[in-house]
Structure 1
Amino acid sequence: MAQLSQDLGAGWFSDPRTTRTVDEGRHKATAITARDDPLIVTLRLVIGQQSACRWGSRNHRKSSYASERILLLMDDTYLASGFADVDASSNTDAFSDCLVLLDSLPYFREYKQHTYELLNLSNGTSVLDVGCGVGDDVVRMAELVSPNGRIVGVDASASMIERATARDDLPSGLLEFRQCDAKALPFGDSAFDRCRIDRVLQHISEPTVSISEMVRALKPGGLIVAYDNDWGTFSINSGNVEVTRIVQDLWTSSFTSPWIGRYLRPYFVQAGLAEVVIYPSNSIICEFDIADKVYNLRQTLRRAVGNNMISEEEGAAWISELVELTKGGGFTCALTAYIAVGRKPPA
């Protein structure tokens, strides 16, 4: 597919305004470029033929998705804050495409597999997946509980549920998708054997309410597994400490509950769960372009410029430094996250 705009690594803003729709199978993306507008930025997402440095090593893997798209990313599609209300965005595709990208990266696939194992799924297990997104985890867990199990995926976003129900790989009779609020689950007490929530609590203003709701919907003796980030550990290596700190803090503060990862264990205990165990993990990305796609680095920098926190010249120099670090093998972007597992005590 022809590249629709210049690589943004070469400059702050894109070329004069153009609009074009790209249809790639079941995905559509609208590309809009604009001159000198800090709130509008095109991002070249290369979902295929990219690699990520995983678990601190320099072993690289190619992702399994072979497609390329240009996505419109505006302030209402800023990933840190936008996931809290996806349906309010002017471009909900930005969020579903983000989930597809993350699901293609080795670190994310490995921690997700770990959550399935901690749930101890087997034939006949009933599972509630809170914040199911486009349904990737629901489909994979369905294979582990078939043929007699039941998986229900819920999400606050109607557009996410619409995408999940439109998948062509849904096993018959096992799955159900519903739109609902994670703080008011529409299920009776003790309805599920297992509950799972993945990178959702960081977007919720009262995460303890959602945890309590999952405990309520869980059968006595059942397990809850949660994965979430601790954005207080987010780090980017750069010689410009001041600009780096501004970008890190601006991105981190855009989350509703940025430190939720470190609070998973006390919140689980507070909710009455027993046998609570925490598993920390580190996501390490060694290529600037991939870190930019995952963490909106360029867009965060533009927000900093728009708020007069840094100058355009400082931002351009920072980007150039990180691109050069990548070429020399010296770029590192890291984040610590936690998996928490707990059991609801017997009645």
Structure 2
Amino acid sequence: MSQQTVYTHGHHASVLRSHSWRTVQNSAAYLIPYLKPNMTVLDVGCGPGTITADLAAKYVPQGHVTGLDVPAVLETARKNAEERGVTNITFTSGDALALPFPDATFDVVHAHQVLQHVGDPIQVLREMRRVAKPGGFVATRETDFSSMAWWPEIDGMEEWRQGYVKVARANGGEPDAGRRLHVWAKKAGYPAESLTLSAGTWCYWTPEERKWWSEIWAERTLSSNFAATAQKAGVYTQEGLEKVAEVWRKWGADEDAWFTLIHGELIAKV
């Protein structure tokens, strides 16, 4: 989404499997009270389009949703929408730093887990506000890696977190974006009184969730874009990456394993 950064995760199959789990209910519930059936919505950084299609099918069925991302992932997004039979939806490529839409185009401009990966999140927020209609909303949700918590405290998990943070920052992003949303928004020119802040969580603890979450992170560590950028940044060797993957497998095999992620959420009235 930005020429200034390297996307830490990339679009490896393990990453898309994780992103495809996302729905409005589990990833954008804070936005639901603001949605009306005939709204136009822009989903910035839509990925495989599961949230995008969910918005179109369930929350703005008389409106229209546009998903924007890089070309590499849009084929998957279009396929997901077609399989669901969603027709009030369009996908297009573009740069979040310079959205390819006129001013005041959309009722809602939404982004999920995007700002943490761009070199200039303040500029992205400016662009999101620019293409939102007066009286509309800008909505964004970002995780906060330093706030993640897990059990058991297996040796190596904290080292994984610290390593991930180093890699993400070396790639030009900010993995603790969740706690910064309101600050970035005010720097982007949003009036403080226009902002509504909240926090949301993901929690993985059932045997199926533990298996899914641990296997995805083990595979991401070794096979996604993370592996190449981690080595390029000098944060991990190949041996170090293999140790991290094994730590994730060990965590996932523990019957008492529990993992939660905290997300910062922001709604701005335009």
TM normalised by structure 1 equals 0.61
Q: Aligned residue for 1:161?
A: 74
Taking a change above 3 Å as real, the CA distance of residues 284 and 98 of structure 1, as seen in their structure-2 partners, is closer
How far apart are residue 165 of structure 1 and its match? 2.4
Taking a change above 3 Å as real, the CA distance of residues 306 and 239 of structure 1, as seen in their structure-2 partners, is same
Taking a change above 3 Å as real, the CA distance of residues 240 and 129 of structure 1, as seen in their structure-2 partners, is closer
CA deviation string 1:76-112 (max 9, x = no partner): xxxx8133xx4xxxxx434332322x32xxxx65343
Taking a change above 3 Å as real, the CA distance of residues 342 and 294 of structure 1, as seen in their structure-2 partners, is farther
Structure 2: segments with no counterpart, 5+ residues: 1-6
Given that 2:56 and 2:65 are in contact with CA atoms closer than 8 Å, whether structure 1 keeps it comes out as yes
How far apart are residue 261 of structure 1 and its match? 0.5
How far apart are residue 267 of structure 1 and its match? 1.6
Cα distance in 1 for partners of 2:55, 2:24 equals 13
Given that 2:195 and 2:269 are in contact with CA atoms closer than 8 Å, whether structure 1 keeps it comes out as yes
How far apart are residue 170 of structure 1 and its match? 4.3
Q: Aligned residue for 2:121?
A: 207
Amino acid at match of 1:250: G
Cα distance in 2 for partners of 1:139, 1:185 equals 20
Given that 1:191 and 1:218 are in contact with CA atoms closer than 8 Å, whether structure 2 keeps it comes out as yes
Given that 1:279 and 1:339 are in contact with CA atoms closer than 8 Å, whether structure 2 keeps it comes out as yes
Is 1:93 aligned with 2:10?
no
How far apart are residue 320 of structure 1 and its match? 7.5
Structure 1: segments with no counterpart, 5+ residues: 1-79, 87-91
Cα distance in 1 for partners of 2:201, 2:30 equals 15
How far apart are residue 227 of structure 1 and its match? 0.8
Q: Which shifted more, 280-289 or 256-265?
A: 280-289
Cα distance in 2 for partners of 1:271, 1:93 equals 34
Residue in structure 2 matching 1:232, options 140, 146, 157: 146
Cα distance in 2 for partners of 1:114, 1:268 equals 20
Residue in structure 2 matching 1:245, options 130, 133, 158: 158
Given that 2:52 and 2:67 are in contact with CA atoms closer than 8 Å, whether structure 1 keeps it comes out as yes
* Superposition RMSD in Å: 3.1
* Higher RCO by CA contacts (8 Å cutoff, separation 6 or greater): 2
Given that 1:126 and 1:150 are in contact with CA atoms closer than 8 Å, whether structure 2 keeps it comes out as yes
CA deviation string 1:213-250 (max 9, x = no partner): 00011111211111110111123334555x23211211
Taking a change above 3 Å as real, the CA distance of residues 307 and 133 of structure 1, as seen in their structure-2 partners, is closer
Cα distance in 2 for partners of 1:311, 1:159 equals 27
Corresponding residue SS for 1:82: coil
How far apart are residue 141 of structure 1 and its match? 1.7
Cα distance in 2 for partners of 1:311, 1:125 equals 47
Cα distance in 1 for partners of 2:56, 2:110 equals 13
Is 1:306 aligned with 2:237?
yes
Amino acid at match of 1:254: V
Q: Aligned residue for 1:275?
A: 194
Cα distance in 2 for partners of 1:311, 1:82 equals 17
Amino acid at match of 2:194: E
Given that 2:195 and 2:268 are in contact with CA atoms closer than 8 Å, whether structure 1 keeps it comes out as yes
CA deviation string 1:198-224 (max 9, x = no partner): 111121121111111000111112111
CA deviation string 1:143-182 (max 9, x = no partner): 33233x2211111x2121122223333433x221100011
Cα distance in 2 for partners of 1:141, 1:315 equals 34
Q: Aligned residue for 1:64?
A: none
Cα distance in 2 for partners of 1:342, 1:213 equals 13
Cα distance in 2 for partners of 1:277, 1:250 equals 32
Taking a change above 3 Å as real, the CA distance of residues 81 and 263 of structure 1, as seen in their structure-2 partners, is same
Aligned residues: 243
CA deviation string 1:281-300 (max 9, x = no partner): 23222254233135348837
Cα distance in 2 for partners of 1:95, 1:240 equals 24
Corresponding residue SS for 2:97: coil
